[in-house]
């Protein structure tokens, strides 16, 4: 570029003419940097492809080894159903502690369909808003694990939209439940042997014996 003062050539990147000192370009102020568009480095396509491959492998590993595993709520029996035994009515029964109405909590259910022909079956009617229910749940799990002749299933009395113990749910009215935890105990022949307070006392006796 030509210096307007001395008419000598000066490099384009100079702010002052090297011959006469004339200011050719204004100095850059800090504010000018804020106005400059940010320069983004080009994305390496190889890195993108590698990232997609790594994510895909991670998804496959998750699906192969962890799919179906569900986090447990402290103080609440909730295990994955494994239909390895048979009920008194010939229906495949889920494993111990399974919430048999987890798909329709609070709705009516015939617990007799889940009685096991080779075990004493304890049905524990509970609410997630019931403190004693949460405290007794791990004890019931321990009882089930120690006794081959006993299996415990749970029945959730709360409809999903209700906050607090749902005393008006269909299953509560079906079994005339007035307190929780509420128990029903069937023998291996499918006979109801204990219910309500009597069943609660029997459960406590079984827990104290283990």
Tens place of pLDDT per residue across the chain (210 aa): 677 777 777 676 656 777 777 766 554 444 444 444 445 556 677 777 887 888 877 777 766 654 444 333 333 333 333 333 444 444 444 455 689 999 999 999 999 999 988 899 999 999 999 999 999 999 998 999 899 999 999 999 999 999 999 999 999 999 999 999 999 999 999 999 999 999 999 999 999 986
Residue matched to tokens 């568009």 = 37
pTM metric for this prediction: 0.57
Pairing of strands 150-156, 120-126: parallel
The class of domain 85-208 in CATH terms is: alpha beta
Among 163, 175, 192, 13, CA closest to 109: 175
Predicted confidence at residue 12, as pLDDT, reads 65
Backbone angles phi, psi at 152, to 5 degrees: -115, 130
Write out the two tokens for 197: 């307070």
State the pLDDT at residue 15: 62
Residue 5 has what pLDDT? 72
Domain map of the chain by residue range?
Answer: 1-53, 85-208
What pLDDT does 166 receive?
A: 97
Inter-CA distances, 173 with 35, 46, 108, 129, Å: 71, 63, 9, 18
Report pLDDT for 50.
Answer: 81
**Which pLDDT score is estimated for 201?**
96
């Amino acid at each position: 570029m030509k210096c307007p003062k001395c008419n000598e050539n000066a490099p384009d990147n100079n702010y002052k003419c090297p011959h006469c000192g004339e200011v050719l370009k204004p100095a850059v102020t800090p504010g000018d940097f804020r106005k400059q568009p940010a320069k983004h480095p080009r994305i390496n396509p190889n890195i993108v492809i590698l990232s997609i491959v790594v994510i895909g492998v991670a998804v496959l590993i998750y699906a192969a080894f962890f799919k179906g595993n569900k986090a447990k709520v402290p103080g609440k029996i909730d295990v994955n159903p494994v239909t390895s035994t048979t009920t008194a009515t010939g229906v495949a029964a889920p494993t111990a502690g399974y919430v048999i109405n987890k798909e329709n909590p609070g709705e009516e259910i015939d617990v007799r369909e889940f009685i096991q022909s080779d075990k004493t079956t304890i049905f524990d009617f509970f609410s997630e808003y019931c403190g004693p229910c949460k405290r007794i749940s791990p004890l019931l799990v321990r009882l089930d694990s120690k006794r081959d002749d006993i299996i415990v299933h749970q029945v959730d009395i709360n409809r999903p939209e209700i906050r607090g113990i749902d005393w008006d749910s269909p299953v509560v009215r079906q079994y005339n439940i007035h307190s929780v935890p509420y128990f029903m105990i069937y023998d291996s022949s499918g006979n109801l042997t204990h219910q309500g307070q009597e069943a609660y006392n029997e459960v406590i006796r079984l827990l104290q014996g283990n």
